[in-house]
């Protein structure tokens, strides 16, 4: 079945540091890929997404590129802020024609120190 | 963007009582909603898929008689935790799929409900 593997945390960085959170997936065909962010005590918010190979999703300074050849969708940000402290989830949805349920990775806790 | 609300945001109840959690899509219609459970510092576990006008589809290992789901309209799904026990304490999150948001059927998440059973 489909699965998502993401970098285990927790990750602790200083403000303005470069962030990478790795995410790889296993799925048939071309799934859609997502990064969600969860701030403390809240639900999930969509951060960015990509629906086909080589697409780059971006939002709030975060970026991720859909790499079919490496089945990856790594999340990056050039300069993190304290307000980026949250849990980040990589997820996929299979292509149309199959059960369209989100499959989540285990989540990566990010803490940014001032 | 599409908004999903949950009510209540936090509930504390005694063991043996039942608790109902509501999930509403505020500005779109959702024939499909999902209920997740999240344990501390863990990922989301899909409990069931709620389909408007029909029975919910439960994931393996989720007791359907324990977690009653009703999706009576295109904007409302409810999860009732029956005869709650302390082990049911968790963070429950719903999501709704916007069937009209392009071909991607994007899901939008509610803010979650923190259930504590004493």
**How far is the alpha carbon of B73 from chain A, nearest alpha carbon, in Å?**
21
**Burial letters B35-67, b for 16+ CB under 10 A, else e:** bbbbeeeebbbbbbbbebeeebbbeeebeeeeb
Q: What would the two tokens of residue A100 be?
A: 């369209």
pLDDT in tens, chain A (114 residues): 889 999 888 999 999 999 999 999 999 888 999 999 999 888 889 999 999 999 999 999 999 999 999 999 999 999 999 999 999 999 998 877 666 678 899 999 999 999
Percent of chain A as helix, strand, coil, to the nearest 5: 5, 50, 45
Partners of residue B111 in chain A, C-beta under 8 Å:
42-43
Dihedral angle computed from the Cα positions of residues B3, B7, B11 and B13, in that order, rounded to the nearest 10 degrees:
-140
* pLDDT at res. B56: 92
Partners of residue B104 in chain A, C-beta under 8 Å:
32, 49, 51, 93
User: Is the model's pLDDT at B100 over the cut of 90?
Assistant: no
Find the CB nearest B110 among A43, A51, A105: A43
State the CB neighbour count (10 A cutoff) for residue B108.
Answer: 24
Cα-trace Rg, chain B: 14
* Contact of A18 with A42, CB cutoff 8 Å: no
* Residue from B40, B44, B60 whose CB has the most chain A CBs within 10 Å, to mutate: B44
> Cβ B109–A44 below 8 Å, yes or no?
yes
* Contact of A106 with A24, CB cutoff 8 Å: no
* Contact of A26 with A3, CB cutoff 8 Å: yes
* pLDDT at res. A99: 62
């Amino acid at each position: 079945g489909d699965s998502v593997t993401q970098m285990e945390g927790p990750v602790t960085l200083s403000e303005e540091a470069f962030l990478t959170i790795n995410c790889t997936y296993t799925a048939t065909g071309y799934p859609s890929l997502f990064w969600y962010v969860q701030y403390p005590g809240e639900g999930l918010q969509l951060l960015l997404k990509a629906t086909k190979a080589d697409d780059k999703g971006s939002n709030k300074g975060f970026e991720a590129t859909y790499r079919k050849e490496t089945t990856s969708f790594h999340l990056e940000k050039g300069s993190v802020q304290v307000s980026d402290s949250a849990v980040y989830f990589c997820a996929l949805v299979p292509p149309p024609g199959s059960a369209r349920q989100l499959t989540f990775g285990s989540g990566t806790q990010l803490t940014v120190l001032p | 963007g599409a908004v999903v609300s949950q009510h209540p945001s936090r509930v504390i109840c005694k063991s043996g009582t039942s608790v109902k959690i509501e999930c509403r899509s505020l500005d779109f219609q959702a024939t499909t909603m999902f209920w997740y459970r999240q344990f501390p510092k863990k990922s989301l576990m899909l409990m069931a898929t709620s389909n408007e006008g029909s029975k919910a589809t439960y994931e393996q290992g989720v007791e359907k008689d324990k977690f009653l789901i009703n999706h009576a309209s295109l904007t409302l799904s409810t999860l009732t935790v029956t005869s709650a026990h302390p082990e049911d304490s968790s963070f429950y999150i719903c999501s709704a799929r916007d069937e009209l948001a392009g071909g991607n059927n994007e899901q939008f998440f509610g803010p979650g409900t923190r259930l504590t059973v004493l």
